[in-house]
Amino acid sequence: MKEVTEAQIGDTLYSHKEPVEPLPGFKLAKPMVFAGMYPIAQSEYNNLKSAVEKLTLNDSSVTVHRDSSVALGAGWRLGFLGLLHMEVFNQRLEQEYNASVILTAPTVPYKAVLSSAKLIKEYGKEEIIIINPAEFPDKNSVSEYLEPTILGTVITPDVYMGKIITLCQARRAVQKDIIYIDEQRVMLKYLFPLNEVVVDFYDTLKSLSSGYASFDYEDAGYQAADLVKMDFLLNGNTVEELATVVHKDKAYAVGKAVCERLKDAIPRQLFEIAIQAAIGNKIIARETLKAYRKDVLAKCYGGDISRKMKLLKRQAEGKKKMRKIGNVEVPKDAFITVLKRQSDK
């Protein structure tokens, strides 16, 4: 073995040329949530690399693949068991290794059944797994998209049942069973698309049920779904880290909500910022972050209107010029904030 990662928990070791039956009962941990991780500055890459290697030694359920992004440089695509696991891993990096990172939007592994002969030849197979939204293939070259599903079990006091059923229906879940355990408690079984549960379903469930409801789930394979890739643009420039895959029916609502949250998360500049959600070349939602403005009319009192118009026109030209050369920085903590659904949005 050249690396420690080659020794998996559950491996059976035997003497040379004396093979034995492997011990039963071990299954590899299956990552359910993927996110890109990048150092804030590329000079920190090697330090972060050794920190990730040390952390994965005592948390073997995290999968690590090298990745690179045009906007963020070299990094990794990490697979986690869930969103809490991802947040704990990020906190440990910060506390134990003093490493600050940029984490991209959490995504789930989708599948695409290719119809283009050229792509099938390129990938060497008809069905591919997509863990990075940037690699999401175009609809023209795909016969169908598949999304992962889970069989979720919710146990709750029956007084909260109505609210929880409404929540499950809003997350595109299909009801499988309702069982009354006793007079007060009820067990609900639903088939959920994994991407509807991954970000904040558990938080919402706990707040709706005053903390009484419990949630458990198991893998339920893949099902066909009408999926689209959504990009977010700031002043016409795509923010690669925010690209996400959504169901077509929810595209407008998700685009609008994320644009509104971006508007709150991005600091105001001296120039106007257009925040847009796009599917392909079609803009489906927009918010405008107004610029800071000096009151150029403060020194005018009375006088001709053309004088005021001249000052305002000059200011508008300056803002226009500034917008062309201005860069918009998205704060690193904005990524998770933006992706968490908020009840008031």
H/E stretch holding 26: none
Of the candidates 299, 330, 196, which has an alpha carbon nearest to the alpha carbon of residue 253?
Answer: 196
User: Which domains are delineated in the chain?
Assistant: 26-103 (3.30.70.870), 110-224 (3.30.70.240), 229-339 (3.30.70.2570)
Task: Quote the pTM value.
Answer: 0.68
Per-residue model confidence (pLDDT) at position 269: 76
Q: What is the pLDDT of residues 11-62, one digit of tens each?
A: 788 888 888 888 777 777 777 778 888 887 788 888 998 998 888 888 888 8
Between 8 and 143, whose confidence is greater?
143
Which long-range CB contacts under 8 A does 234-240 form with residues at least 24 apart? 234/262, 234/266, 234/273, 234/274, 234/275, 234/328, 234/330, 235/273, 235/274, 235/323, 235/326, 235/328, 236/274, 236/276, 237/328, 239/71, 239/330, 240/69, 240/70, 240/71, 240/72, 240/134
Q: What is the pLDDT of residues 69-124, one digit of tens each?
A: 766 778 888 888 877 788 889 889 989 988 888 877 777 888 888 887 887 887 78
Per-residue model confidence (pLDDT) at position 340: 55
Per-residue model confidence (pLDDT) at position 190: 93
In the block, residue with structure tokens 């971006």: 262
Residue 345 above 70 pLDDT?
no
Residues 202, 217 contacting (CB under 8 angstroms)? no
Per-residue model confidence (pLDDT) at position 159: 92
Q: Which of 52-56, 67-71, 232-236, 325-329 has the lowest mean pLDDT?
A: 325-329
